[in-house]
Each structure stands twice: as C-alpha cells, then as structure tokens.
C-alpha cells in the first residue's frame, strides 16, 4: 500500500517507492554536473524545517561580486509521512512553513524557478555529491514532567542517525557543518567519533572535516535577515575544519557587516548558544516573582520595567508575558544539564539557575487561569462552563509559531477547570498542538498528558473573525501582543461581547485609559504583574458612587469621564461583587 504525507493545507503526496530512488539520484547527478560546469559549489542542507529551508535558500541566493550565483543547494529531507510534503513544495518554489517575512517566499521562488540554484530531495545518495553538508535537523529535549526540566532527556536519535547517514555517504573532503542547537560536546564527542568510525569502515584514513556554528534565527518579519545579516559564531574540530567553515560562512552570509566570531573548539560554540538562550530565559524568569509581588501590592510592573529600562545598563529588561515559549528557550538549558551528565559524565549538581528559570517559565502561564477564575468570581460568574476567548495562540507577537506557547497551557488549564475556550489569532490557521494533540510536539509528549479532560480540545479551531469570537463571551484573555490587539477599543469589545466581561491582560497590552474604560463599562480587569488595576477600579467606583448619590456639582460633572450612556451601562452592568 502506498503511504502519503499531507501538507498543512491538506494536499496529499505519495511517499517514494523503492524504484523512485535511482531515478531521483540520476536527476540530481545531471543537475550537479551542469552546476559544476558553472563553477558552483554543491551544498546539501539536511533537514528543511523552520531553519533549514531558509538557510538553504540563503545559500542558494549567494553570489559573487559580479552577481553570479556561487552555490547550488540540495535541500534534503527524510521521506517521513510527517515531513515528506516539504520536498515537492520547495520544488515548486513554495515555502514549506508559514512565515511573516515575505522575503522567504520570494527567495525560495527566485532560487528554484529563476536562478535554478535550489532543489529538494529525499535521496540520501545526494550526500555523495556535496562539497559542504549543513546539518539543520532537530535535537529535541523531551521533558517528562511539567515544571521540572531535570526529568527530561535530549532526544539524540535524529541527530545521531544523521551523522551515520552523512558519514556513510559523503566524500572525505566534504565539510560537515552542524547548525543544530546541540548539547555542548556533541560535535566532538558524538559527531566526530561516529563519522570517524564509519570512515574507518569505508577505508578512509582522513580526518573528518567537521564544524559547528549555531543559528540565531528569529521567526517573524525579519526571518531571512536573522540568518543572513546577523553575527555568527563558529568553530572546527581541527585547523582545516575551521578554515573551511570560515570560508563557507564568509561566502554565504553578510559577514562584512556582521563579522564572524571564531572560537577555539566546537564545545565553545555549542556552549555559546546554550548560555545565550539560558541568559535570556533567566532574565525573563527572574521577573516572575516580581510580577506576583506587583499584583499583590498595587504595583504596575510594566511601568516599573519602563522606568528601569531608561538606564542604558538595563535596557534589555523585558516584561515576561504568559510564559516564554518558542522552540529554543524552553529546551536549550536542558541540553546543557543533560550534556554535563550524559556526555561529560559528571555526577554533581552544579546547575541551579538554569533549570529553575526554565521551570518558572514553563509554568508561569498557569497563573493566568487563576486570574481568569478570580475575575469571573468577582463578577459573580463561575469559571465552569464560562465562555472564554483567548487572543493569541503563538509564543510571541506578530508570528504564527505556536511551539510551546504559554497560551497552550492557559487553554489546557482552563479547560480542565471546566471553561469553554475559543481562540483567535490572525497569524495562526491551525493550532496543531490541539488539532493533532496525539502527535505534537512528538507522539506521547503532548502537554495534554498533564491535564484532565483534554480530549475535546482536538476539535479546537482558530477563529479568524474577531467579532464572531467575542460574541457572547464571559471573559477575554489578551495573551499575545499581536498588532491587531493593541488598539482594540473597549467599547467595541464590550458591545461585541454583548455586555460586561472579565478582561485579563497577560502582556501589558492595556494602558490605564483602556483599563479604566473597561471598569466604567462594568467589566472586571486583571493582569499579570498589574497590581495597580485595583486602584483604577477604586477610582471608577468612587466616581460612580458620587454620581449615584448626586453629590457632584455641575462643574465636576463636566470633568467626569462618564457620559450619560456610560452611566446607564454602569447602573445596569457594573458589578463590584465579592472581591479577592
Ligand atoms: N526554529 C527556531 O526558531 C530556531 C532558532 C534557532 C535555532 N534553532 C535550531 O535549529 C535546529 C533546527 O530547528 P527547526 O526549527 O528547523 O526544526 P524542524 O523540526 O522544523 O526541522 C528539522 C527538519 O529535519 C528533518 N530531519 C530529521 N532527521 C532527518 C534526517 N535524518 N535526514 C533529513 N532530514 C531530517 C525533519 O524532518 C525536519 O523537517 C534546532 O536545533 C533548533 O534548536 C531553531
């Protein structure tokens, strides 16, 4: 029976049959022979996922001073049911993932259809043709419990398999450049011995040419620039490897403007990536306790952070939002911990901050469910069976990437508490972590397993019509700072909802004017790190009481923000019920 791979839009592609492999290799050989006559170096990118597909296009787009392409790129992808569809899509000149950067699509189309410097394949034999192999396969870190990174393991299978496949096929002169974020020590202590052993079996005495250089790619509007026009760190296992990787990166990246940093050993380049991301995870996690402090003591953490940031030494302080998310920050520190024990063999426990930061970030969003529960309670409504609209499924603003987003945990916890969830996100069409929750992020590792009552969430769909999403809700959660949410008018929101609602701000999205207006409209407002909302609520209540008692004079009435219509709303809807 033929097997099929389905693209995200539902298009079906048959997986290759055994007889397809030799035909495919012939196609590649012909292409490569022609490209060699044009003097182009043959580069194979292994794994055309989020990073590899764009890296492949960046390399294929490289040109010399006269504007002539210098590389021919083969994007290679294993023909699994989950990923095979990426190959035919790239070969049509299409982007295999959704991105907010229009340059990705333009570049892939240009390189495939106009410059003819990019093709994609399922054939491992393509490795035989390459002078450079760039490894962009995943190396996951799978956690076994919620909020305890120490129980996790680095998932080395895809990477180890890739090293074996590469070593069995490449010519000894091929540069192997590992761009995957790996556990520090992987290049020298896992990659190098695997390649060396297989070379030996093949009768090759030559030292492998092996290097590491990590990606700093940022999903979003500047996706291509974050690969091509950005600083890189690299290192080779020996002098020749270092020389080759420096030359290759100089050929394909804008290193004139963004110079390379060359480190002595790959473990230093690998550690740089892990420390870089652990640093960011830590400065975000550290604010979680101050966020709680702010909520309990009438402090607005958003204003506090802005006040501190004017000091140049503290300008990179960031409000943490509902958890951190993304593919990298939740896992990278775990790869460091894992390496210390399982690659380097140490038994002692030197890591305190890094795992603590990840654990805090991984569970921060659960507090949003508590705020929602409390806001609804203050309005006299139970959380069970409340209709709640979550605005924003992705892990950061203005991108469609939902991997490990804080929003996922908010949905899971509120569902467990009996609420009915609706989702809106202008950048996300399918939230696979729910629609395909038995498979995502990998089979048996859905976050679903940490919560009860999750089965129905596979029917969760992302609403694109905000007005429809708002209709009849009890609560709205502002989870992500997407552009379309920043200026939503409270009057419109409440009107579309059909009356006062609970409003939860997870990301400092509401300014004080909006918060005040929501209170005036009879809503209840709460927010992560936003303890000052109670003060605004008290002011609105005091004014309301003044008005109801009719004690304010004519002049004062003119100063009051409340219109006659507002007053009607207040009288009918404002509910300052039992409070926390
Ligand atoms: N996504 C990001 O924002 C980002 C940022 C910086 C660094 N990184 C790092 O880049 C690396 C790749 O991440 P990604 O987001 O592209 O992952 P991904 O899962 O989107 O892509 C990996 C691809 O490799 C393929 N693959 C696995 N084994 C293979 C094999 N043997 N042969 C051919 N293909 C194979 C998979 O099918 C998949 O398509 C990771 O180490 C990640 O940590 C990612």
pLDDT digits (tens, 9 = 90+) for 333-370: 999 999 999 999 999 999 999 999 999 999 999 999 99
Q: Can you tell me the mean pLDDT for 382-408?
A: 95
How far, in Å, CA of 195 to CA of 192, rounded? 5
Note the pTM of the prediction, 2 decimals: 0.91
* Closest ligand 1 atom to Cα of 216: 6
Q: Taking each helix axis from N to C terminus, what angle separates 157-169 and 192-201, rounded to the nearest 10 degrees?
A: 40
Report the sign of the C-alpha dihedral through residues 15, 17, 23, 29, in that order.
positive
Return the pLDDT at 444: 84
Q: Can you tell me the mean pLDDT for 252-268?
A: 98
* Closest ligand 1 atom to Cα of 331: 43
With tokens 């859905």, the residue in question is 446
Which tokens is 120 given?
A: 């994609």
How far, in Å, CA of 86 to CA of 109, rounded? 14
Return the pLDDT at 4: 93
Q: Is the pLDDT of residue 579 over 60?
A: no
CB 383 within 8 A of CB 419: yes
* Closest ligand 1 atom to Cα of 219: 3
Return the pLDDT at 553: 52
How far, in Å, CA of 469 to CA of 467, rounded? 5
Q: Taking each helix axis from N to C terminus, what angle separates 564-573 and 533-549, rounded to the nearest 10 degrees?
A: 100
With tokens 């190396």, the residue in question is 139
Ligand 1 centre to CA of 80 (Å) is 14
Q: Return the best residue to mutate from 79, 136, 155 for the ligand 1 pocket (most ligand atoms within 8 A of CB).
A: 136
Which tokens is 566 given?
A: 């507002």
Return the pLDDT at 355: 98
How far, in Å, CA of 164 to CA of 498, rounded? 61
Task: Name the residue at shortest CA distance from atom 18 of ligand 1.
Answer: 49
CB 534 within 8 A of CB 503: no
Q: Return the best residue to mutate from 5, 15, 46, 50 for the ligand 1 pocket (most ligand atoms within 8 A of CB).
A: 50
With tokens 């590469």, the residue in question is 166
Task: Name the residue at shortest CA distance from atom 28 of ligand 1.
Answer: 158
Asked whether 187 lines ligand 1 (CB < 6 A), one says no
Asked whether 138 lines ligand 1 (CB < 6 A), one says yes
Asked whether 84 lines ligand 1 (CB < 6 A), one says no
On average, the pLDDT of the chain sits at: 94
For residue 236, list its beta bridge partners.
211
Q: Which 3 state secondary structure label does DSSP give 21?
A: helix
* Closest ligand 1 atom to Cα of 218: 3
What is the rounded radius of gyration, in angstroms, for the C-alpha atoms of the chain? 27
How far, in Å, CA of 336 to CA of 141, rounded? 10
Ligand 1 centre to CA of 51 (Å) is 6
How far, in Å, CA of 153 to CA of 486, rounded? 39
- Count Cα neighbours of 23 within 13 Å in the Cβ-side half-sphere: 5
Report CA 572 to chain centroid distance, whole Å.
Answer: 43
pLDDT (tens digit, 9 = 90+) per residue, 110-154? 999 999 999 999 999 999 999 999 999 999 999 999 999 999 999
Asked whether 441 lines ligand 1 (CB < 6 A), one says no
Q: Return the best residue to mutate from 13, 16, 51 for the ligand 1 pocket (most ligand atoms within 8 A of CB).
A: 51
With tokens 């909520």, the residue in question is 295
Ligand 1 centre to CA of 181 (Å) is 9
Q: Is the pLDDT of residue 563 over 60?
A: no
Beta strands in 34-110 (DSSP E): 41-46, 71-76
Asked whether 77 lines ligand 1 (CB < 6 A), one says yes
Per-residue pLDDT band for 278 (boundaries 50, 70, 90) equals very high
Return the pLDDT at 552: 52
Q: Return the best residue to mutate from 327, 395, 402, 405 for the ligand 1 pocket (most ligand atoms within 8 A of CB).
A: 327
How far, in Å, CA of 191 to CA of 137, rounded? 13
Return the pLDDT at 559: 45
Ligand 1 centre to CA of 155 (Å) is 12
Separation of first and last alpha carbons in the chain: 61
Q: How many residues does the chain have?
A: 580
- Count Cα neighbours of 256 within 13 Å in the Cβ-side half-sphere: 2
Asked whether 158 lines ligand 1 (CB < 6 A), one says yes
For residue 45, list its beta bridge partners.
75, 134
Q: How far is CA 426 from CA 106, 158, 185, 399, 462, in A?
A: 22, 33, 41, 9, 9
Return the pLDDT at 455: 95
Asked whether 270 lines ligand 1 (CB < 6 A), one says no
* Closest ligand 1 atom to Cα of 124: 32
Residue 554 zone, left/alpha/beta (φ > 0; ψ -120 to 50; rest)? alpha
Ligand 1 centre to CA of 179 (Å) is 9
Return the pLDDT at 443: 79
Percentage with pLDDT > 70 across the chain: 95
Asked whether 186 lines ligand 1 (CB < 6 A), one says no
Element (H, E) at 120: strand 118-121
The DSSP secondary-structure symbol of 440 reads S
Which tokens is 216 given?
A: 């700093």
Percentage with pLDDT > 90 across the chain: 89
The DSSP secondary-structure symbol of 127 reads G
Return the pLDDT at 561: 46
Asked whether 46 lines ligand 1 (CB < 6 A), one says yes
The DSSP secondary-structure symbol of 13 reads E
Asked whether 327 lines ligand 1 (CB < 6 A), one says yes
- Helix ranges, 351-470 (H): 353-363, 366-378, 406-416, 432-435, 466-470
* Closest ligand 1 atom to Cα of 52: 16
Task: Name the residue at shortest CA distance from atom 39 of ligand 1.
Answer: 49
pLDDT (tens digit, 9 = 90+) per residue, 43-79? 999 999 999 999 999 999 999 999 999 999 999 999 9
Per-residue pLDDT band for 219 (boundaries 50, 70, 90) equals confident
For 468-520, the DSSP string reads HHHTT-SEEEE-S--HHHHT--HHHHHHHHTS--EEEESSS-S-HHHHHHHHH
Asked whether 174 lines ligand 1 (CB < 6 A), one says no
CB 212 within 8 A of CB 187: yes
Q: How far is CA 372 from CA 141, 302, 347, 403, in A?
A: 31, 19, 43, 23
Q: How far is CA 78 from CA 73, 83, 88, 107, 128, in A?
A: 16, 7, 12, 23, 16
pLDDT (tens digit, 9 = 90+) per residue, 505-555? 999 999 999 999 999 999 999 999 999 999 999 999 999 888 888 755 554
Report the sign of the C-alpha dihedral through residues 451, 456, 459, 463, in that order.
negative
Return the pLDDT at 25: 98
């Amino acid at each position: 029976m033929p097997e099929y791979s389905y693209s995200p839009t539902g298009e079906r592609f048959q997986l290759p049959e055994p007889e397809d492999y030799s035909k495919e290799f012939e196609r590649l050989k012909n292409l490569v022979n022609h490209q060699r006559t044009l003097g182009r170096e043959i580069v194979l990118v292994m794994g055309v996922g989020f990073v590899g597909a764009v890296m492949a296009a960046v390399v294929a787009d490289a040109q010399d001073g006269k504007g002539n392409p210098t590389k021919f790129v083969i994007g290679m992808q294993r023909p699994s049911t989950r990923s095979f569809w990426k190959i035919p899509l790239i070969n049509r000149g299409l982007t295999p993932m959704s991105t907010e950067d229009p340059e990705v699509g333009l570049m892939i189309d240009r390189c495939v259809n106009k410059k003819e410097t990019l093709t994609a394949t399922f054939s491992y034999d393509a490795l035989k043709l390459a002078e450079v192999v760039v490894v962009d396969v995943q190396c996951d870190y799978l956690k076994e419990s919620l909020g305890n990174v120490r129980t996790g393991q680095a998932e080395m299978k895809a990477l180890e398999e890739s090293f074996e496949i590469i070593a069995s096929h490449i010519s000894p002169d091929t540069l192997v450049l590992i761009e995957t974020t790996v556990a520090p020590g992987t290049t020298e202590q896992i990659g190098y011995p695997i390649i060396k052993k297989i070379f030996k079996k093949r009768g090759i005495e030559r030292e492998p040419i092996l290097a590491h250089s990590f990606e700093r790619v940022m999903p979003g509007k500047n996706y291509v620039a974050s690969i091509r026009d950005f600083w890189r760190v690299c290192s080779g296992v020996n002098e020749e490897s270092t020389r080759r990787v420096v030359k290759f990166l100089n050929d394909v990246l804008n290193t004139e403007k963004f110079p390379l940093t060359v480190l002595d050993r790959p473990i230093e380049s690998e550690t740089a990536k892990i420390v870089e991301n652990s640093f960011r995870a830590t400065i975000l996690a550290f604010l979680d306790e101050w966020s709680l402090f702010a909520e309990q003591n009438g402090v607005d953490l958003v204003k506090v952070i802005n006040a501190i940031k004017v000091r140049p030494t503290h300008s990179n302080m960031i409000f943490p939002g509902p958890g951190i998310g993304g593919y990298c920050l939740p896992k990278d520190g775990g790869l460091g911990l894992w390496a210390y024990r399982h690659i380097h063999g140490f038994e002692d426990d030197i890591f305190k901050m890094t795992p603590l930061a990840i654990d805090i970030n991984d569970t921060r969003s659960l507090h949003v469910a508590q705020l929602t529960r409390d806001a609804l309670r203050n309005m006299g409504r139970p959380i069970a069976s409340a209709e709640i609209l979550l605005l924003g499924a992705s892990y950061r603003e203005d991108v469609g990437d939902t991997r490990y987003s804080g929003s996922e945990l908010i949905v899971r916890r509120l569902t467990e508490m009996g609420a009915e969830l609706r989702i809106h996100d202008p950048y996300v069409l399918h939230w696979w972590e729910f629609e395909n929750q038995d498979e995502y992020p990998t089979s048996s590792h859905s976050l679903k397993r940490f919560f009860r009552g999750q089965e129905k969430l596979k029917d969760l769909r992302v609403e694109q019509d905000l007005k429809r999403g708002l209709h009849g809700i009890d609560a709205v959660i502002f989870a992500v700072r997407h552009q379309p949410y920043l200026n939503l008018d409270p009057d419109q929101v409440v009107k579309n909802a059909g009356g006062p609602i609970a409003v939860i701000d997870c990301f400092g999205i509401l300014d004080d004017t909006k918060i005040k207006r929501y209170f005036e409209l009879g809503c209840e407002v709460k927010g992560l790190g936003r303890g000052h909302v109670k003060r605004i609520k008290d002011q609105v209540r005091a004014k309301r009481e003044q008005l109801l008692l009719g004690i304010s004079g004519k002049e004062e009435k003119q100063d009051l923000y409340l219109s006659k219509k507002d007053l009607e709303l207040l009288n009918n809807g404002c509910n300052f019920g039992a409070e926390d």
